[in-house]
Amino acid sequence: MGRLIMWNLVTLDGFFEGPEKWSLDWHDIAWGDELKEVSIAQLRSAAMLLFGRVTYQGMANHWPTAKGEVAQLMNSIPKVVFSTTLDRADWNNTRLVRGNPVEEVPKLKNDSSKDIFLFGSATLASSLTPVGLIDEYRLCQTPVVLGKGTPLFKPSGRWTRMRLLDARPLKSGAIILRYEPVQASGGGA
């Protein structure tokens, strides 16, 4: 059975994009040879990538014309986009799923012997976190405070306790943090 791993770059103040959609120029702070190696290793280990509609559309606009090993892997790996509004998914190796992610993701995990990665897709992640479908949260905490933007974790009134698996500092000042949920969501508002 495959594990679902959420992977995101996140600012110190908890944003995964700036105040405008796809405002990601701050990613350059963390990017370098080390993060490139991590990205390639993760993509090579992945059975597939999962996306919500918004992240999928941004990725599908960028990667087909990008160059390099990361781009080659992004374009070749199987992808699933969850959307009830998209008519089609044209990016290479992409399957459009209109079903409920909470019902569909366990099937994808069950059918896989390798890890499945969820990139970006904060809204999709917010539906999977409370029901315990994300097995690992892998974050590249980037040394920047944006002051405003889109939070990675949506307010829910519930909490999920995490256990630190690993913390790896990079020369850029970013830190790759790996967490696993200790228990299903709980706690008060």
What is the tens place of the pLDDT at every residue in 70-95?
Answer: 999 999 999 999 999 999 999 999 99
Residue pair 2/116 in contact (Cβ under 8 Å)? The answer is yes
**What pLDDT, on the 0 to 100 scale, is given for residue 158?**
78
Q: What pLDDT score does 22 carry?
A: 84
What's this model's pTM, rounded to 2 decimal places? 0.91
Taking the C-alpha atoms of residue 5 and residue 63, their distance in angstroms, rounded to an integer, is: 21
Is the domain spanning 4-181 CATH 3.60.15.10? The answer is no
The confidence score (pLDDT) of residue 159 equals: 82
How far is 56 from 120, CA to CA, in rounded Å? 9
CB 97 within 8 A of CB 80: yes
Domain ranges in the chain? 4-181
**pLDDT digit string, tens, across residues 118-162:** 998 888 999 999 899 999 999 999 999 999 999 998 887 778 899
Q: Is the Cβ–Cβ distance between 22 and 56 less than 8 Å?
A: no
